[in-house]
Chain A
Amino acid sequence: MLKWNKSILAAATATAILSTAAFASASDMTTYDVTIDGAQFTPSELKVKAGEPFRIKVTNKNKAPAEFESSDLDVEKLVPGTFDIVVNVRPQEPGKYEFFDDFRKNDVIGYIIAE
């Protein structure tokens, strides 16, 4: 009984490890800065190079936490109060993409323009 349970756990672990097999990689990407201060992003429009992965560094100057999010860019990350975080963004086609503070979704909005 105990042995069986162990082999089940081993099989489960092996499956999970196999299925999330990872390869580490370092990256040298352009980082763009955005600041949340009060109820707005500065800059509220960010120009990035299309077709290349990039990073956004988000600095939250407020005491209240925020959540930097963009459904268009598939990004979602907590930004504690008076803190900064970095997100990786996949290469994007030329176009305009919205990002926002998910805790104040309709009020705090910015855009990324990929060219």
Chain B
Amino acid sequence: MLGALIIVFREVFEAGLVVGILLAATKLVSGSRWWIAGGVAGGVAGSVLLAFFAGAVSRWADGFGQELFDAGVLAVAVVMLIWHNLWMAHHGRELAAHLMKAGSEVEDGSRPLAALAIVVGVAVLREGAEVALFMYGIVLAGGESWTSLALGSVAGLALGACVSALTYFGLVKIPMRHLFSVTTLLITFLAAAMASQSAAFLEKAGKVSWLSATAWDTSWILDENSMLGRVMHTMIGYAQRPSELQVLVYLVTLLAVAALTFATARHAKTPQAAASR
């Protein structure tokens, strides 16, 4: 039972963190919880489908369909995160003003919410297919251990939800006027992390051989598979043995998103932009 719990928990851990961060980022935007829940539900449904067609997906692209699929959905998630950040940079001021005045939920937020629902879906989908296949294996094996393994898996899923809750409640303790700056920063790192992981999958698929040398090995300082290693992997994109390409993609994304967000925030401050809305 403990084994099943650990396997499932490890897989849902990353998705749990992402969900927690995005819930906090969209706090006080009306309907955000529904969008995020929709993203989770979509991700779960997608996971089951993906597990079912795992063989077919694997056969694509000369046997590297899994890797290309991962690279693709991660790239989509990166675009959505950047979009959300820029939207927030543009509307952050009005949002803050509205919150000061009314203290109520903001209505106009559906566009980045759809983007974030997609990010949540991707986060769930990526690890969810593994959980689905693992649990399918348990069902297939049957026998005495069946109930105990199933219980362990469910407990693992519940713990993943706890990670979301802890992340969320930790973040919303931050005073409201700083919360959006903090979540924008977190999302910038999340985007860079996902972009570099997307690049890593292209390398694993053998589609990119450029800058493939290992940039460094820090596994002796922080093991990527340890608890802290996993947190850092998800939140800032820590990799213990990244390729040079991964490092480059990470830095380019980080700097580009930061620059775009900054420029958009400045643009939003001009009176014309406020009037044109």
Contact = CB atoms under 8 A, between A and B. Distances in A.
A4 B90 contact: yes
Contact of A67 (B75, B130, B241): B130
Interface in A73-115: 74-75, 77-78, 80-81, 83, 85-88, 90, 102-103, 105-106
A96 to B, nearest CB: 15
Contacts of A80: 54-55, 58, 133
Contacts, number: 124
A108 to B, nearest CB: 12
- Chain B interface helix/strand/loop/mixed: helix
Contacts of A74: 241
Interface residues of A, number: 40
Contacts of A103: 7, 133-134, 137
B5 interface: no
Interface string B235-266: 00000010100000100110011001000100
A64 B141 contact: yes
A15 to B, nearest CB: 5
Interface of B: 3, 7, 54-55, 58, 63-64, 66-67, 71, 75, 78-80, 82-83, 86-87, 90, 111, 129-130, 133-134, 136-137, 140-141, 195, 198-199, 202-210, 212, 214, 223-225, 241, 243, 249, 252-253, 256-257, 260, 264, 276-277
Closest 10 interchain pairs by CB? A12-B82, A64-B137, A65-B133, A19-B253, A8-B86, A25-B209, A12-B83, A86-B63, A80-B55, A16-B79
